[in-house]
Amino acid sequence: MISLVWLIPAFPLAAFLISGLFGRRWLGHLTGLVATIAVGLSALLSIGVFLEVLGGKTQTVVQLYRWIAVGDFSINVSALIDPLSSVMLLVVTVVSFLIFVYSNGYMEHDAGFYRFFAWLSLFVFAMLILVMADNYLLMFVGWEGVGLCSYLLIGYWFERPAPYYAAKKAFVMNRIGDWGYTIGIITIFLVFGSMNFLDVFKRLEESAPAQATLTLICVALFFGATGKSAQLPLYSWLPDAMEGPTPVSALIHAATMVTSGVYLVARSMPLFEVAGPSLQVVGVVGAITAIFAATIALVQFDIKRVMAYSTVSQLGYMFLALGVGAPVAAMFHLATHAFFKALLFLGSGSVIHGLGGEQDMRKMGGLRRKMPVTFWTMLIAGGALAALPPLAGFWSKDEILGAAFVNGHVVLYAIGIITAVLTAFYVTRALWMTFYGEPRDHHLYDHAHESPRVMTLPLIALAAGSAVLGIVVGFPPEQGSVHSFLAPVVEAAGLAEHIPELATIVALALVSVAAGVIGIAFGVSMYVRHRPDSAALTRAAGPVYRVLVSKYYIDELYDHRFVEAARAFAGASWAFDIHIIDGLANRLGWVLAMGGQGLRRVQTGIVGNYALTIVAGLLLMLVAYGGYATGILGR
Amino acid sequence: MTVPLGAYIAVSAVLFFTGCAGVLVRRNAVVILMCVELMLNAANLALVAFSRKYGSIDERGSVFVVFVFVIAAAEVAVGLGIILSAYRNRPVINVDEIHQMKG
């Protein structure tokens, strides 16, 4: 099965080509079916590959062909199938498949149906390349590919200005991150003479390069990860990316693409582990992002933006886990998060679909009677996000916080707990405003309807995953099957797994649960019993509230500091181009044209003038001849 | 009595420059054609004179005169043809006013 691993990305690629080339004219709505079947086949193959890895094939390299060969440096297009990549393959293909099914319903009435599925298939292809690559360069190909598809799909409704701007913003910020990635892989090549993961890690042990170089590599790679995974300081494209269709938000901006930064760091863990302070940087940035985004999520009214900030915050948790040396917990949270956050987005999409495009939670309310399936599935996902046992998020988040505590990062642990309270509060708030209380907009409420079966079935499947995934692979805590499966990752990095005592585990879990319950209780009290009343609290908080609503003015800051500077520079370059470069060419042309105008007057069209010129020329020649012949003009 | 070569050449030059001046100055196409004839005959005269003087064996230079006659006849035929057809098109024989074909 593993030898067939290249079929996994081949199916989405074929779906992309078929729907892109034939979708518009011939296939129409069949493109959705074709793409869904293709991704479904990929998912089946991934399950097969996963089972084989589970069966003991812990490291296989499947070469497709040699890509670059210069001297003793060579890069192959080959897949590295180990526990880490097989988990990613499984998550990516399964979640993609469910979202593809859902999209068939969600995008049904959209004019660009075939275009949507073509790009979504291309995205899955690029993501799979990223995940399977056995070297940094091929990974970069996938890395850029997902960035491109993200751009295309955020700007899917490019007739409107907002998606178009959001797409541009996402692309530019990703490019800034990619700059870091490029620096990282170039330095890796210079230091190790290879870009292959296994070679690099082997040579790392043999040669032990300077700390400063390693730190540069890791910080540069992590900078790339912050761009792709929406961490500080490059997070602000992700909330704006919600202008894309909701399935895109669920697939790209919640479940898969944004986790590729986590995957990159987890993959490079042996480098980060020996590179001095770089893991601390990862952990601190992750923790700050987690709490920062969670506070913004508290006050947003657009249901998708709440989820977007929540995604940023949860990705922060994953980096926090990586930073405290717990890649297993990070990958575990990545997998569970892919399920419950995709579900939250798809549920939001179902609500938006049912309300005919309304995203403002202030106009919702009481929808649980109209949309029971959406309500129950989102309740499960919300519980998972708030880390209530026994739902999936509890197990993975608990492992992250536990690892932070056990490995001695008490401050990061405290930030994590506070973020957990905030998370529980904002998810309670979002679900309450959407599904409970009295309908606030009766017109919308009366026309609300449950989504069709093709959309609710993926919700149910994801809800099942969100409910049981954690306990299946994560129980007992710190020793669940996820640990034994991903053990090679930890070993490769040379990390020691601290397995705390049972009492510590229980105590930590109780604290986590308490944090979740406090957040939920506060939310329920605020919205059911109006104690404290949300409006009064808003007034009391005053400036703090304004700062939060304005998202800490980060966008304005970036606009002032960077965008305007870039614009000014672009304007100067434009002026230089127009006036100097173009000016030079135009002046030259003008001079020649004027010269031509002048010379044109010689051609009078009067025969006599021509004859005179001939005679004058003849005389001149005769005089010159005479002058030379007689020696007057010299030699 | 032998006429010196210089006299022939002088007459030839006078004829030539008379023709040349006529070509340059006159506007009447027929007159211009006649002046061209004058120039050709000036050249003929020079050729014949040089041929007599230096062609000690068989005066081969005179052969060129026959060529020039032929060319002159052809030139007159073509030139008059052009003038006539231009005249039929527009009743003008002033060369400065025939400029329909100017680019």
| ipTM value | 0.73
How many angstroms separate the CA atoms of A593 and A453, rounded? 72
- Calculate the alpha carbon distances from A146 to A122, A216, A229, A330, A610 in Å: 8, 25, 12, 21, 73
For residue B103, pLDDT beyond 60: no
How many angstroms separate the CA atoms of A286 and A312, rounded? 9
How many angstroms separate the CA atoms of A161 and A165, rounded? 6
Residue A238 lies in a domain: yes
Chain B residues with a Cβ under 8 Å from any Cβ in chain A: 20, 23-25, 27, 95-96, 99, 102
For residue B2, pLDDT beyond 60: yes
Which of B52, B25, B40, B47 has the alpha carbon at shortest distance from B79? B40
List chain B residues with CB under 8 Å of A607. Answer: 95-96
How many angstroms separate the CA atoms of A472 and A387, rounded? 16
C-beta atoms surrounding A25 within 10 Å: 8
Q: How close does chain B come to A613, measured CA to CA in Å?
A: 10
For residue A498, pLDDT beyond 70: no
pLDDT-based confidence at A359, cuts 50/70/90? Answer: confident
Instruction: Note whether A217 and A288 are same-domain residues.
Output: no
Which of B65, B39, B61, B52 has the alpha carbon at shortest distance from B7? B52
The pLDDT of residue A232 is 84
For residue A475, pLDDT beyond 70: yes
Number of domains in chain A: 5
How many angstroms separate the CA atoms of A294 and A315, rounded? 11
Q: Which domain holds residue A593?
A: 550-599
For residue A635, pLDDT beyond 70: no
B24 contacts A615? CB cut-off 8 A: yes
Residue entry with tokens 């089972």: A51
A184-203 pLDDT, tens digit each: 999 999 998 888 998 898 88
Residue A345 lies in a domain: yes
Using CB atoms, which residue from A607, A612, A615 is nearest to B95? A607
Instruction: Note whether A144 and A287 are same-domain residues.
Output: no
A526-564 pLDDT, tens digit each: 888 877 777 778 888 778 888 888 888 888 888 888 889
Residue A266 lies in a domain: no
Q: What is the arithmetic mean of pLDDT over A243-271?
A: 91
Instruction: Note whether A619 and A575 are same-domain residues.
Output: no
A445-457 pLDDT, tens digit each: 888 888 888 888 9
Instruction: Note whether A92 and A147 are same-domain residues.
Output: no
Q: What is the arithmetic mean of pLDDT over A206-213?
A: 84
Instruction: Note whether A496 and A624 are same-domain residues.
Output: no
Mean pLDDT of chain A: 88
Instruction: Note whether A497 and A361 are same-domain residues.
Output: yes
**Quick check: A12 and A121 in contact, CB under 8 A?**
yes
pLDDT-based confidence at A596, cuts 50/70/90? Answer: very high
Segment of A141-145, A390-394, A404-408, A447-451 carrying the highest mean pLDDT? A141-145
| Half-sphere CA count of A323, side-chain side, radius 13 A | 30
Mutate to test the interface with B, among A600, A606, A609 (most CBs of B within 10 A): A606
List chain B residues with CB under 8 Å of A601. Answer: none
List chain B residues with CB under 8 Å of A611. Answer: 23-24
How many angstroms separate the CA atoms of A338 and A47, rounded? 16
For residue A1, pLDDT beyond 60: yes
Q: What is the arithmetic mean of pLDDT over A112-126?
A: 92
Instruction: Note whether A63 and A192 are same-domain residues.
Output: no
A612 contacts B24? CB cut-off 8 A: yes
Written out in words, the top-level CATH class of the domain with range B5-89 is: mainly alpha
Q: Is A168 exposed, middle or buried (0-12, 13-18, 19+ CB in 10 A)?
A: middle
Instruction: Note whether A493 and A581 are same-domain residues.
Output: no
A611 contacts B96? CB cut-off 8 A: no
Q: Dihedral angle at the C-alpha atoms of A465, A468, A470, A472, nearest 10 degrees?
A: -120
CB-based contacts of A580, cutoff 8 Å, min separation 6: none
pLDDT-based confidence at A501, cuts 50/70/90? Answer: confident
CB-based contacts of A468, cutoff 8 Å, min separation 6: A392
CB-based contacts of A156, cutoff 8 Å, min separation 6: A112, A115, A116, A119, A163, A244, A245, A248
pTM, 2 dp: 0.79
Chain A residues with a Cβ under 8 Å from any Cβ in chain B: 605-608, 611-612, 615
A–B interface: beta-carbon pairs under 8 A: 18
Q: Is B91 left (phi over 0), alpha (psi -120 to 50) or beta?
A: beta
Look up residue A16 and give its two tokens.
């992309």
